[in-house]
Amino acid sequence: MKTGEVLKWIDHTDSMKRYGKVTRVVGLMIEATGPETSIGDVCFVYTKGKMSKPIKAEVVGFEKESVLLMPYSELKHIGPGCLVESTHQSLLVKAGKSLIGKVLNGLGEPLDASEIPTGIPAVPTDQEPPNPMHRAPIRERISIGVKAIDGLLTVGKGQRIGIFAGSGVGKSTLLGMIARNSDADINVIALIGERGREVREFIENDLGEEGLKKSIVVVATSDQPALQRIKGAYTATAISEYFRNQGLTVNLMMDSVTRVAMAQREVGLASGEPPTTKGYTPSVFATLPKLLERTGANDKGSITAFYTVLVDGDDMNEPIADAVRGTLDGHFVLDRSIAEQGRYPAINILKSISRVMNHISSKEHLQAADYIRNMLAIYEENKELIQIGAYKKGTSREVDEAISYNPNINQFLKQGVHECVTGDEAIEKLMALANRSET
């Protein structure tokens, strides 16, 4: 650094450290006066316990002269007069290849109490989405390793997909299959609002040792404060962005974006926002598109994102499902009735769509996929008549054909949890099935 630059830096350095003081704690919110700070800055609240560490909190609002802070951890040992220090920057997390295979909390810290290697760059969790003019068009297919998806709902590099399902229909199992079988360079998996018991089960059973070798898992369980659950989603997205900027093909899997919205609702209500649709605050519907738009492709690499959406009572039109579906580039619907028949993954092909499939698939592939979809649709329309025996064979050639090949189509859509089928193999099987049906 040159002498002139050093002198300029000294002139602009504040020799005094300014602290604020806690004046009130109401529910999840800490009110303080004094610290010079702005929205999104991280602050340290120095607690009164002798052995306790400072609590990290984030500025989420202001009320007259008071600063409203939301803590990342539990509100312990905080009392009137506790000192508040602003860092004047948003939350930073480490990102690098040495994190692969690790399980982190919502703030990017290892959950196994290990140390993050030194020298890893820090990236801000809150970043702007890429400039629309810098987004590369999606023109290349990515192999997911699930026949039903690669064959009938083909996904492109940089596409963003919503996986819509009620509880217990197989969302986590499907994510584990994608993580193990996909040909992406790295997986970043965010488990937001999960039960603590399910985290280790997902890592050991669904993801497995093979999947963990090329994955970074970010966990913010349901017992964590709302802000840490939100930051878990932002941390996973920021780590994905780092690897995308290195030119890698990244899979980001978030389970679930609904619980991120619920956490944002908690923060909004605590900071005084009015509830609107189904109790969700306006900030929820403003925050979701900003988070979802950060993924996708840029001029260096790509983030192919899979966001699971919990639908209450299998209602696909509830507010969060509607908002997410309108933002993403396609959706897979997991159907409870299909799962009850023992067909996994329980994807309802007729209700699912990939909006970029027409741009990344060959003409022959699209023709085969359209034919199989048509067979499924015809069978579904006449399902009740067929099941009660009211349909007479020979009444319709198309219905006869749909009945004849429905078992073969269902067999194609069914896949074992640990069965790996590449994208090319899936397309070959689909085209062979379509050609056999047509003859």
Q: Distance between alpha carbon 357 and the CA centroid of its chain, in Å?
A: 21
Across the range 67-71, mean pLDDT stands at 92
Grouping H, G, I as helix, E, B as strand and the rest as coil, residue 354 is strand
Quote the CA–CA distance of 42 and 273 in Å, as a whole number.
Answer: 21
Q: Sign of the CA dihedral 286, 356, 170, 315?
A: positive
Find, among 223, 233, 166, 177, the residue nearest to 198 by Cα: 223
Residue 15 has pLDDT above 80, yes or no: no
And the tokens for 283? 């900030």
In 73-225, which residue ranges form alpha helices assigned H by DSSP?
147-152, 171-181, 196-201, 208-212
Within 10 Å of residue 421's Cβ, how many Cβ atoms? 20
The pLDDT of residue 439 = 45
Quote the CA–CA distance of 209 and 108 in Å, as a whole number.
Answer: 21
Grouping H, G, I as helix, E, B as strand and the rest as coil, residue 84 is strand
Q: Write the DSSP assignment of 263-318 as a string of letters.
A: HHHHHHHHTTPPP-GGG--HHHHHHHHHHHTT-EE-SS-EEEEEEEEE-GGG-TTS
Find, among 27, 29, 22, 34, the residue nearest to 82 by Cα: 22
Quote the CA–CA distance of 107 and 163 in Å, as a whole number.
Answer: 25
The pLDDT of residue 194 = 86
The pLDDT of residue 36 = 84
Residue 437 has pLDDT above 60, yes or no: no
Across the range 183-204, mean pLDDT stands at 91
Local confidence band at 13 (pLDDT 50, 70, 90 cut-offs): low
Q: Using alpha carbons only, what angle is made at residue 154 by residues 149 and 155, rounded to the nearest 5 degrees?
A: 100
The pLDDT of residue 1 = 54
The mean pLDDT of the chain is 89
Residue 209 has pLDDT above 70, yes or no: yes
Within 10 Å of residue 45's Cβ, how many Cβ atoms? 23
Find, among 341, 327, 51, the residue nearest to 169 by Cα: 341
Instruction: Point out the least confidently predicted range of 266-275, 280-289, 299-308.
Output: 266-275
Residue 284 has pLDDT above 80, yes or no: yes
* Under 8 Å between Cβ of 307 and 162: yes
Instruction: Point out the least confidently predicted range of 13-17, 165-169, 220-224, 321-325.
Output: 13-17
Q: Give the position of tokens 């300014």.
A: 18
Surface-to-core class of residue 359, CB atoms within 10 Å of its CB (0-12 exposed, 13-18 middle, 19+ buried): middle
Residue-wise pLDDT tens digits, 117-148: 788 899 999 999 988 888 888 999 999 999 99
Q: Which domains does the chain have, with CATH numbers?
A: 3-89 (2.40.30.20), 93-360 (3.40.50.12240), 364-435 (1.20.1270.330)
